[in-house]
Amino acid sequence: MKNYSGRSLKQFNMEKEHLKENYYVSGHTACAGCGQSMAVRIVMNTAGPNTIATNATGCLEVFSSKAPQSAFGVPWIHSLFENSAAIASGVEAALDQQGKKDKINVIAQAGDGGTADIGLQALSGMLERGHDVLFVCYDNEAYMNTGIQRSGLTPFSAHTTTSPSGKKSSGNPRPKKPVVEICAAHHIPYSATSSIANPKDIEIKVKKALQIKGPKYLQIHVPCPLGWRSESSLSIEIAKQAVNTGLYPIVEYEYGKLTKVRKIPSPKPVSEYLKLQGRFKHLLKNQEEIAAVQKVADKNIDYYGLK
């Protein structure tokens, strides 16, 4: 039996169930292998229907909300690039005045640029004022939507359009900005990192954060095949290698104190991670440059006690 669009009744019913069971649905225009899109679904489905989400300008806003459609199954507000945290603060304050604050989750969302750079002031203000909001940073390590420019969370030696590799440059000269520690320094109840390499860990941390009153910060590592110049089928593997080399520590802070880390007893060499991505291609024949990246990983392993 066929319905009006040529789909079978079984297909049609499956699509209806998909729309009912998910609070971020398929049909958006994210690139194949987009780690950000994978992470958003986990976050939204974990938070559930009693959620209001704010969203800074960026990839997620563009590919999930092309008028007249939206991939979000919860109330969703598009803000400017810099003020997702400020809009979420206003939403939370309004819910408080209406007596609905304890019934609805408020989640602010932004990419690494809208979090670590242009949005850092609004984020700090939200944390300092103590709003009961979960801020989620989808860290794909560059301004992907506007042309793959370097951000404060771009890793050391990565090639971007504003930190190009060449005869006089080995890519981005700065290490990743320690935003999870910056947030923890506000002595907020919860500040953590996660990775699309471990979907269950994201789910656990979102649940934990939403059960805590006050401001929370969660930074999720989300590979971008376009900006990282990687195969779309390798996004999960690349994310795993970032964790297993020590380049992306998985940690939790509570009230400013480091309380939990994901141990990596046998760290992989960083070359295993670098070779999967075109943004590091310029390093692969230069052992000194690879050694410099290895120092970043080794420092993380020592600092967080990952072994």
Q: Where are the domains of the chain?
A: 22-304
* pLDDT the model gives residue 27: 84
* pLDDT the model gives residue 1: 40
pLDDT band for position 18 (50/70/90)? low
For 69, other C-beta atoms within 10 Å of its C-beta total 11
Ranking 14-23, 27-36, 259-268 by mean pLDDT, the lowest is 14-23
Q: For helices 35-47 and 235-245, what crossing angle results, to 10°? A: 80
pLDDT band for position 3 (50/70/90)? very low
pLDDT at 56 over 50: yes
Of 158, 120, 144, 140, residue with least CA distance to 38: 140
Which token pair is 87? 């809009």
pLDDT at 39 over 70: yes
Tell me the per-residue pLDDT of 152-189, one tens digit each, with 9 for 90 and over.
999 999 999 999 999 889 999 999 999 999 999 999 99
What are the CA-CA distances from residue 248 to residues 81, 139, 166 (Å)?
Answer: 25, 11, 26
Tell me the per-residue pLDDT of 67-95, one tens digit each, with 9 for 90 and over.
778 899 999 999 999 999 999 999 999 99
pLDDT at 134 over 70: yes
Q: What is the mean pLDDT of the chain?
A: 94
Dist CA 236 CA 200 (whole Å): 13
**Mean pLDDT on 56-62:** 94
* pLDDT the model gives residue 21: 79
* pLDDT the model gives residue 66: 81
Tell me the per-residue pLDDT of 203-224, one tens digit each, with 9 for 90 and over.
999 999 999 999 999 999 999 9
- Which residues is 2 bridged to in the sheet? 8
CATH number of 22-304, picked from 3.30.70.20, 3.40.50.300, 3.40.50.2300, 3.40.50.970: 3.40.50.970
What are the CA-CA distances from residue 184 to residues 161, 181, 252 (Å)?
Answer: 31, 5, 9
* pLDDT the model gives residue 15: 59
| Torsional sign, CA 67, 68, 72, 74 | positive
Instruction: Indicate the SS3 state at residue 166.
Output: strand
Dist CA 218 CA 290 (whole Å): 29
Sequence-separated (6 or more) residues with CB below 8 Å from residue 106: 51, 52, 54, 88, 91, 92, 95, 131, 132, 133, 134
For 291, other C-beta atoms within 10 Å of its C-beta total 13
Dist CA 18 CA 20 (whole Å): 5
Tell me the per-residue pLDDT of 234-272, one tens digit each, with 9 for 90 and over.
999 999 999 999 999 999 999 999 999 999 999 999 999
* pLDDT the model gives residue 38: 96
How large is the C-alpha radius of gyration of the chain? 20
Angular region, 99: left φ>0, alpha ψ -120 to 50, beta rest? left
* pLDDT the model gives residue 69: 82
